[in-house]
Amino acid sequence: MTFNTILFLFTFLPIALILYYIVPKRFRNIPLVLLSLVFYAWGNPTYLILMAFSVVFNYITGLELDAYLQEERHTGARVTMISAVVVNLLILGFFKYYGFLISTVNSITGLTLSAPELPLPLGISFFTFSVLSYVFDVYRGRAEVQKNFLDFSLYVTFFAKVTSGPIVQYKDMAPQFRERQMVPAKFGAGISMFLVGLGKKVLIADNLGATFSAISGLSTMSAGTAWLGMILYSLQLYFDFSGYSDMAIGLAKCFGFDFSANFDYPYLSASISEFWRRWHISLGAWFRDYVYIPLGGNRCSKHRQLINLAVVWLLTGLWHGSAWNFVLWGVYHGIFVILEKFVLKDIWPRVPKFLRIFVTTLLVFIGWVLFFSPSLSGAIHYYGQMFGAGHMGLFDGTFRYYFFGSLRLLIVAFLGCGPIVRRIHQRLCYYKGGKRTYVSVIGFVLLLILCVAYMMSATYSSFLYVQF
């Protein structure tokens, strides 16, 4: 089940809200956990076993860590923490990377080892990083151990974030299990944010994706068509993922939780480093807090900093997918971050900002080819098409057909990548004191109607990040 379905909008969500608000405050986590398990099990109930194991194992690990730390038995705490990390990563590695490992070994050695084709459990990368956040926070004393099994279960399974994030760190969510603000204004803000995200996904991302799918299915294409396909996918990915994040954060608000923003207009970044402070913010914060800083961060020699950055970006690539094109994608971004930090740190800031934004966005867009290609050879082939290897010329009839057919949508999408739409909305829909106008209410009702109409008439499209 995903948020952009009629089933979720008109069955699951209303039931969830009714059950949540009719139950006394001190018991409200109970229906949230039960509903979250139903939400997760909808696609494949078998993987509830995996989810249950993750919850029970890491809950017990937290208690053991706390006991060792209270007794100042630091060696036992360290062994417990390392064991938990190994177990969680082995589970993630088996389901996500086992096939990739076997195929790599076969290609290197010439062997013909076989690997079972297992469906990837929904959100395994997200909830694995969530439980690792808990283990690390307890071990480092950044958060108190969670002794309430129900509250810990809610942290891992909460349906607003379990399948595609954002990756909420335990130390940020823990204070909200028992004390969270639930007022009409917050509920209204949550609904508004959810509808904005739904509009991003259904009205913009899915339509961009339809044209991109048509282009990517071509065996050969002109350079212009290939570049157009790259731009369409880059915009689709942003509106798809940021839309999902908006929906997740909005849903969390409806149930009293506050999650931090996951996107901050990343395509307006003036450097690759800034892009990663604006794109998938929760993932970047996770790698910074639990990998980069523990490795030494910036508090060490330049040589060691280079190693730390290389490790982070290699892991970032692997986190996104079990294929060499994802590894290369991570390395690609890592190279530019390293160049900005050590080679261009005095030169790049002197370049006019509009040019820095253009170059950064162009580099990011080019990198997405590695992201959407089914394999490394597929990415190389697509790059070849972009630079004329397809021998179809710069522009052709196919390019003109898809370009002019999607021109209005492209204009809307590019405008939506910046704050101008939000500023217009705030000026039209809010009084100076922050109170909503009737224009705002009517606008959101029309947006919901439009989204529902499109969802009922169009083919279902899942979220792109569900596969990660």
Tell whether 50 and 170 lie within a shared domain: yes
CB atoms within 10 A of CB 353: 10
Catalytic one among 320, 381, 391, 425? 320
The answer to whether residue 1 sits within a structural domain is: no
The answer to whether the beta carbons of residues 259 and 168 sit under 8 Å apart is yes
Position 431 scores a pLDDT of 58
The answer to whether residue 63 sits within a structural domain is: yes
The answer to whether residue 139 sits within a structural domain is: yes
The answer to whether residue 48 sits within a structural domain is: yes
The answer to whether residue 463 sits within a structural domain is: yes
Position 409 scores a pLDDT of 94
Residue 182 pLDDT more than 90? no
Taking only Cα atoms into account, the Rg of the chain, rounded to an integer number of angstroms, comes to: 23
Tell whether 154 and 251 lie within a shared domain: no
- This prediction has a pTM of 0.92
Tens-place pLDDT, residues 315-344? 999 998 888 999 999 999 999 999 999 989
Domain end residue (candidates: 179, 194, 215): 179
Across the range 445-460, mean pLDDT stands at: 84
Helix/strand/coil percentages in the chain, nearest 5: 75, 0, 25
Residue 101 pLDDT more than 80? yes
Tell whether 264 and 149 lie within a shared domain: no
User: Is 381 labeled as catalytic in the residue annotation?
Assistant: no
Domain end residue (candidates: 144, 159, 179): 179
Tell whether 92 and 227 lie within a shared domain: no
Tens-place pLDDT, residues 245-254? 999 999 999 9
Tell whether 308 and 431 lie within a shared domain: yes
Residue 466 pLDDT more than 60? no
Residue 438 pLDDT more than 80? no
- Number of structural domains found in the chain: 2
Mean pLDDT, the chain, integer? 89
Residue 440 pLDDT more than 80? no
pLDDT band at 436 (very low <50, low <70, confident <90, very high): low
pLDDT band at 308 (very low <50, low <70, confident <90, very high): very high
Tell whether 245 and 160 lie within a shared domain: no
Please provide the distance, in angstroms rounded to a whole number, between the alpha carbons at the two ends of the chain: 16
The answer to whether the beta carbons of residues 318 and 326 sit under 8 Å apart is yes
Tell whether 363 and 412 lie within a shared domain: yes
The answer to whether residue 200 sits within a structural domain is: yes
Tell whether 175 and 190 lie within a shared domain: no
Q: In whole angstroms, what is the distance from residue 382 CA to residue 221 CA?
A: 9
Q: In whole angstroms, what is the distance from residue 2 CA to residue 25 CA?
A: 27
Position 435 scores a pLDDT of 63
Tell whether 139 and 219 lie within a shared domain: no
Tens-place pLDDT, residues 128-148? 999 999 999 999 988 899 999
- Helix or strand holding residue 77 (H, E): helix 74-109
Across the range 203-220, mean pLDDT stands at: 92
CB atoms within 10 A of CB 415: 11
Q: Percent of the chain beyond pLDDT 90?
A: 61
- Among 126, 111, 197, 205, residue whose Cα is nearest residue 164: 126
Rounded to whole angstroms, what are the CA distances from 296 to 86, 101, 291, 299?
A: 21, 29, 9, 6
Tens-place pLDDT, residues 280-304? 999 999 999 999 999 888 888 888 8
Q: In whole angstroms, what is the distance from residue 162 CA to residue 157 CA?
A: 6
Tell whether 422 and 295 lie within a shared domain: yes
With H, G, I as helix, E, B as strand and everything else as coil, classify residue 2: coil
Tokens coding 2: 């995903």
Tell whether 159 and 200 lie within a shared domain: no
Domain end residue (candidates: 179, 208, 236): 179
Residue 122 pLDDT more than 90? no
Position 428 scores a pLDDT of 65
Tell whether 136 and 89 lie within a shared domain: yes
Q: In whole angstroms, what is the distance from residue 182 CA to residue 108 CA?
A: 57
The answer to whether residue 314 sits within a structural domain is: yes
Position 464 scores a pLDDT of 66
Q: Look up the domain containing 190 and give its range.
A: 186-467
